[in-house]
C-alpha cells in the first residue's frame, strides 16, 4: 500500500507541470518566530480583534436594528470563503467594493446605522472575523467581463512608476521580490492575510493601510481610503494571488 502511494506520489511529481507556481505569500518569507506567533491562536494578537468582531457580529448596531447575525446567521457557515472573493463587483454601484466597504454598505443600507470609520477598531474587528472564516481557502477572485476594466486599471497602477522615487509596485514586488530592502525581505505582495497584525504597527490594519504605507514609502501621494484606485489595486492584487491560501488574520513583521 505504502509502495503504491509512493509510486503515485512519484508519478505526480514527474507529470507535474514543468514550471511550478513560484508565487509565495508573505508568510513564506517570515522568520520561524513570527510564523509561530501567527499559527498559534493564543499568541496571534489579531485574534483579539476577532473576539471583538464576533461580539459585533452578534450585536445590534442600534436599538431595534438587526445584528449581522440577524440576516447572515452563523458567520462560520455563512461567511465561509467570502473574504477570499473580495473585492467583488457590485452591480448596483458598477464598480468593485472591498470587504470593509461591503460591511459598511450593509451597515448603512440594511442596518440603518452610521458607517464605521476606515481603520477603526470596529471595522477591522468585523473584517477580521469575516476573513477568519476563509482561513486556509484559496483566493478566488476571478477576472470576468464585469470587473475586467477595474482589474486592468489596478494592473496599470501596479505597473506605473510614481512618486518622487519614480518606481512602480511591480519593480519591487515582481522584479526584486525575495531580495532585501534594508533589513527586510521584499515580499511578492500577495494579500493573503488581510486584515493583519503588523508588528511595526502594533495593531491590526487593512490592505488599504498597507498600500497607503507603501505609496508613502515611494513618496507618492497615497490614494484616499475607499478611493476607486485603492480598490482597483486591491482587486488586481487578489486576482494576481488567485489560488494562494488565505491565512487571515495574519501576523507580519
- Point out which residues bind other proteins (CB under 8 A): 40-43, 45, 47-48, 51-52, 199, 202-203
Annotated catalytic residue, options 71, 106, 169, 214: 214
CA–CA dist 193, 209 (Å, integer): 13
Residues 6+ apart with CB under 8 A from 47: 41, 249
Residues 6+ apart with CB under 8 A from 183: none
Closer to other proteins at the Cβ: 5 or 42?
A: 42
Buried residues in 68-86 as b, exposed as e (16+ CB within 10 A) = bbeebeebeeebeebbbeb
User: Least distance in Å: CB of 118 to other proteins?
Assistant: 17
Closer to other proteins at the Cβ: 33 or 164?
A: 33
User: Least distance in Å: CB of 125 to other proteins?
Assistant: 10
CA–CA dist 121, 109 (Å, integer): 21
User: Least distance in Å: CB of 90 to other proteins?
Assistant: 32
CA–CA dist 140, 222 (Å, integer): 27
Active site annotation includes 169: no
Closer to other proteins at the Cβ: 11 or 43?
A: 43
Closer to other proteins at the Cβ: 45 or 217?
A: 45
User: Least distance in Å: CB of 44 to other proteins?
Assistant: 8
- List the catalytic residues: 214
Amino acid at each position: 500500500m505504502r509502495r503504491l502511494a509512493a509510486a503515485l506520489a512519484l508519478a505526480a511529481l514527474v507529470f507535474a507541470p514543468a514550471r511550478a507556481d513560484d508565487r509565495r505569500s508573505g508568510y513564506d518569507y517570515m522568520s520561524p518566530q513570527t510564523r509561530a506567533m501567527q499559527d498559534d491562536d493564543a499568541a496571534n494578537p489579531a485574534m483579539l480583534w476577532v473576539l471583538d468582531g464576533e461580539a459585533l457580529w452578534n450585536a445590534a448596531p442600534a436599538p431595534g436594528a438587526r445584528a449581522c447575525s440577524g440576516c447572515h446567521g452563523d458567520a462560520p457557515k455563512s461567511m465561509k470563503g467570502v473574504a477570499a472573493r473580495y473585492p467583488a463587483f457590485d452591480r448596483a454601484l458598477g464598480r468593485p467594493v472591498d470587504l470593509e466597504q461591503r460591511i459598511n454598505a450593509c451597515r448603512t443600507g440594511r442596518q440603518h446605522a452610521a458607517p464605521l470609520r476606515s481603520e477603526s477598531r470596529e471595522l477591522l474587528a468585523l473584517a477580521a472575523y469575516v476573513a477568519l472564516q476563509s482561513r486556509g481557502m484559496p483566493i478566488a477572485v476571478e477576472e470576468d467581463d464585469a470587473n475586467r476594466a477595474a482589474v486592468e486599471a489596478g494592473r496599470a497602477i501596479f505597473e506605473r512608476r510614481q512618486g518622487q522615487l519614480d518606481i512602480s509596485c511591480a519593480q519591487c514586488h515582481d522584479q526584486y521580490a525575495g531580495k532585501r530592502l534594508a533589513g527586510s525581505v521584499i515580499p511578492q505582495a500577495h494579500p493573503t492575510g488581510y486584515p493583519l497584525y503588523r508588528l511595526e504597527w502594533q495593531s491590526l490594519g487593512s490592505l488599504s493601510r498597507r498600500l497607503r504605507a507603501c505609496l508613502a514609502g515611494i513618496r507618492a501621494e497615497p490614494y484616499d481610503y475607499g478611493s476607486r484606485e485603492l480598490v482597483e489595486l486591491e482587486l488586481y492584487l487578489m486576482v494576481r494571488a488567485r489560488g494562494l491560501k488565505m491565512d487571515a488574520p495574519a501576523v507580519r513583521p
